[in-house]
Amino acid sequence: MQSVVPTLRITDYARSKAFYTNGLGFTVNWEHRFEPTFPVFMEVGRDGMLLYLSQHEGDCQPGGLVHLYVPDVDAWYSDLKLRGISTPQPQDEPWGNRDFRVTDPDGNRLCICTRLDS
């Protein structure tokens, strides 16, 4: 079970929801607004990983970096490519990860990683 849930700041609800669901394959688990026209706070998930996406200015600033560890980074890369996400191919890194990065519409970066065998 994931014990930390990062929060990423979003500014455009529809654009971000489409990016995370259609583009990255996450599912919206829930959404909360104090009133129908107020900013959204939502949870998205994929393969047991959770992220919070928030339109609330006080929660955090756009431009964060989150590392998502997955069993097969190359399979994720292929899936995102089929979904129309353009990103450099995964690379083996000297710190022991194979990874690639994706940037969301608000400048938040997601590093999709698989640990290399030692």
Report yes or no on 80 lying in a domain.
yes
Report yes or no on 87 lying in a domain.
yes
Strand partners, 17: none
pLDDT at 117 over 90: no
Question: What pLDDT is recorded for position 3?
Answer: 81
- Is-contact 71 114, C-beta < 8 A? yes
How big is the CA angle at 7 (ends 14 and 5), to the nearest 5 degrees?
120
| Structural domain boundaries enclosing 50 | 7-115
Report yes or no on 1 lying in a domain.
no
Report yes or no on 2 lying in a domain.
no
pLDDT digits 0-9 by tens, 45-103 = 999 999 999 999 999 999 999 999 999 999 999 999 999 999 999 999 999 999 999 99
* Structural domains counted in the chain: 1
Instruction: Write the CATH number for 50.
Output: 3.10.180.10
pLDDT digits 0-9 by tens, 18-42 = 999 999 999 999 999 999 999 999 9
